[in-house]
Amino acid sequence: MLTGILAGLKESTGLTLEELQPENPGPGLICSNFDGASVKFGIKYGVVTHTKSIILSSLSIVCIAMESAALDASKSNPYMGKFEDALKSVFTWFHYSSKRLRELKNIVAVIDKKFSHLEALKSMRWMSSKLSFVSALKDDLQVVVMQMENEPNTCKDIDGAKVKGYMVTLKSAKFIKMLYGLCDYLPTLSHISKAFQQEDILLIEVPERIHADILRLQALKVHPGPCMQDFLK
């Protein structure tokens, strides 16, 4: 593997191992970026380990999908998996049925309420799509439940049983609390994501920005955000 790494460095930079050493004049290897594949981080045989053995002072930056990081962190909350399944079920229920979408819009027109479009949950641009969907569902929850309450009377038995299960979840205090809490929590994660998309951000700024956003998230435990305050009223 070490030979392969050296060959890759030579091919990508045009520099030999000696020339890549940062203490030598001219260009040198200061930092290397890697995706989140676990094979890159083995203690003995990982690419990161071998790279640092070649150039001891080099930094290694890990780039992983925000979705993977968030879902991994959420494993400490057993209910989050059920919550995620419920979100996907709601999207699927309406996205693939023009009839149900028409019924939603009809209900909105009757009760004179603004309707927020339920956007798809995507792996790419996961943070923005998740924030948009959760915010829309919070605003549209009453309308969504009203449409589903009428569904068992007009659909097949299997769909009727399915939608009854959805309603039990959507009307539960636990689901609604999680929904409102995420509407306070996700904007901070979105702030982190957008900060790291800036071309002019410096490496030395990263720890400070992450620490500031961690403090914002921790503060939500003691001082509920505006959405959670609405839930608690």
Whether 48 and 149 share a structural domain: no
Whether 126 and 175 share a structural domain: yes
Whether 149 and 58 share a structural domain: no
Is-contact 191 135, C-beta < 8 A?
no
Closest by CA to 178, choosing from 170, 188, 167, is 170
pLDDT at position 152: 56
Q: What is the C-alpha to C-alpha distance for residues 28 and 72, in angstroms, rounded to an integer?
A: 35
CB atoms near residue 163 (< 10 Å): 20
Mean pLDDT of 205-224: 89
| Partner residues linked to 63 by β-bridges | 35
Which domain covers residue 173, as residue numbers?
68-232
pLDDT at position 208: 87
What are the angstrom distances between the C-alpha of 133 and each of 90, 95, 139, 170? 10, 12, 10, 15
Mean pLDDT of 212-223: 91
| Partner residues linked to 203 by β-bridges | none
Mean pLDDT of 207-213: 87
Structure tokens at 208: 């400070």
Q: Which residue has the tokens 């925000």?
A: 66
Tell me the pTM.
0.69
CB atoms near residue 94 (< 10 Å): 19
Which of 17-26, 61-70, 88-97, 208-217: highest mean pLDDT?
208-217
Whether 46 and 119 share a structural domain: no
pLDDT at position 165: 83
Domain finish residue from 64, 92, 111: 64
pLDDT at position 202: 80
Whether 126 and 224 share a structural domain: yes
pLDDT at position 166: 84
Instruction: Give pLDDT tens digits for 108-122.
Output: 888 777 777 777 666
pLDDT at position 66: 63
Q: What is the C-alpha to C-alpha distance for residues 126 and 72, in angstroms, rounded to an integer?
A: 14
Q: What is the C-alpha to C-alpha distance for residues 75 and 85, in angstroms, rounded to an integer?
A: 14
Whether 117 and 58 share a structural domain: no
What is the number of structural domains in the chain? Answer: 2
Does pLDDT of 35 surpass 80?
Answer: no
pLDDT at position 122: 65
Whether 52 and 72 share a structural domain: no
Whether 135 and 203 share a structural domain: yes
- Choose between 38 and 96: higher pLDDT: 96
Whether 36 and 115 share a structural domain: no
Is-contact 164 145, C-beta < 8 A?
no
Whether 31 and 92 share a structural domain: no
The sign one gets for the Cα dihedral 66, 68, 74, 80 is positive
Whether 16 and 84 share a structural domain: no
Structure tokens at 201: 């951000």
Q: Give the pLDDT band (50/70/90) at residue 27.
A: confident
pLDDT at position 25: 76
Whether 42 and 86 share a structural domain: no
Instruction: Give pLDDT tens digits for 74-83.
Output: 677 888 888 8
Instruction: Give pLDDT tens digits for 154-196.
Output: 555 556 677 788 888 999 999 999 999 999 988 888 887 777 7
Domain finish residue from 44, 64, 84: 64
Domain finish residue from 26, 42, 64: 64
Percent of the chain with pLDDT over 70: 75
pLDDT at position 45: 63
What are the angstrom distances between the C-alpha of 130 and each of 24, 88, 99, 157, 180? 47, 11, 24, 31, 13
pLDDT at position 178: 93
